Amino acid sequence: MERQADPGRAIAFVGLGNMGLPMALRLAAAGHTLTGYDVSDAVRDAAVASGLDVATSLRDAARDSAIAILMLPSSDVVDDVVLAQSLADALPSGALVVDMSSSDPLRTRALATVLAERGLRLVDAPVSGGVVGAVEGRLTIMLGGAEADAAEVEPLLAELGSSRRTGAVGSGHAVKALNNLLSATHLLVSSEAIEAGRRFGLADDVMLDVINSSSGRSFSTEYKWPVFVVPETFDSGFGLRLLVKDARTATTLARALGLPSRLGEAALALWEQAAQELSADADHTEIAKFAAVPDEDEASA
């Protein structure tokens, strides 16, 4: 007899990295029955040390879970976990998969169709707010999916931040990618502008004070530059290559819809160059270092 998921029962949380672990800990602290899982032994050990109940296999984490939350790097990893590693087979019929990863919206739609054929439901709920937002429960959550499914998961997501309904399944991932393309573009151009000001002799605090009270302000100048770039900590917790991936998802979506993304493609090309030149584990705020280095043609002029 087929097992039926009970919305009040356990949660499987897959992906316990920089974002996933604090999110899972918040849900557990709120009284939810939650079992975490990560493919990395070291990450699982860290989660256990933090007090989280962690399974040693994906199947054990998913067994009897009404909800499976995914916090993974990409659609490739999501598809691998859900299909190739058989998370879908381990979940009871009727379970709800909540993909909080930064996935490709077109692939999310395709995965939702596959899961529906197996008696499972999918909503996409990617987040913005970084590690600090995850720790403090102040994430912005972009929630896409059927009305009933979204309504079912909203009380759970309220423990993590504020959710915004975005439309049908895949719409949350679309908004997230487009948001991060904007974030990548204004952080890069802000870094270029502030570096030009530095070379002219302007002080960082003077520029940021003026910009943040003027039309050039953005989240990059109001938060990322003063918190991570000026003190040179570059420790936002969000990797440069992950932002490149999200920006590429946005420009790919635009192309698939027949829309030229000229500025987006230009910004993406520079971010991809930065990804090649900076360290493999570079934080995305280190784009400011890249912006401060002249091109070879300019340097030799």
User: Does 133 share its domain with 21?
Assistant: yes
Helical packing angle, 240-256 and 262-277, nearest 10°: 150
**Could you tell me the pLDDT band of residue 165, with boundaries at 50, 70 and 90?**
very high
Q: What is the pLDDT of residue 215?
A: 98
User: Does 48 share its domain with 22?
Assistant: yes
Of 140, 169, 198, the residue that ends a domain is: 169
Catalytic residue among 176, 224, 245, 289: 176
Distances (CA, A) of 201 to 49, 102, 186, 288: 48, 39, 22, 17
User: Does 135 share its domain with 43?
Assistant: yes
- The secondary element (H helix, E strand) that includes residue 63 is none
User: Does 102 share its domain with 28?
Assistant: yes
Q: How deeply is 231 buried, as exposed, middle or buried, from its count of CB atoms within 10 A (0-12, 13-18, 19+)?
A: exposed
User: Does 50 share its domain with 160?
Assistant: yes
Residue of 79, 129, 121 lying closest to 104 (CA atoms) = 79
Give the sign of the dihedral formed by CA 204, CA 205, CA 208, CA 210.
negative
Of 142, 169, 196, the residue that ends a domain is: 169
User: Does 148 share its domain with 233?
Assistant: no
User: Does 152 share its domain with 266?
Assistant: no
Question: Residue 106 above 80 pLDDT?
Answer: yes
**What's the whole-number average pLDDT of the chain?**
94
User: Does 82 share its domain with 226?
Assistant: no
Of 149, 169, 189, the residue that ends a domain is: 169
Q: What is the pLDDT of residue 298?
A: 55
Question: Residue 7 above 60 pLDDT?
Answer: no
Note whether residue 3 is domain-resident.
Answer: no
Half-sphere exposure of 141 (CA within 13 A, CB side): 27
Average pLDDT over residues 222-226: 98
Residue of 26, 21, 152, 170 lying closest to 96 (CA atoms) = 152
**Which residue range is the domain that position 219 belongs to?**
174-300
Question: Residue 2 above 50 pLDDT?
Answer: no
Residue 224 is a catalytic residue: no
pLDDT tens sequence across 268-288:
999 999 999 999 999 999 999
- As a whole number of Å, the CA-based R_g of the chain is 21
DSSP one-letter code for 4: B
Largest CA distance in the chain: 75
pLDDT tens sequence across 109-141:
999 999 999 999 999 999 999 899 999 999 999
pLDDT tens sequence across 250-262:
999 999 999 999 9
Q: What is the CATH number of the domain that holds 202?
A: 1.10.1040.10
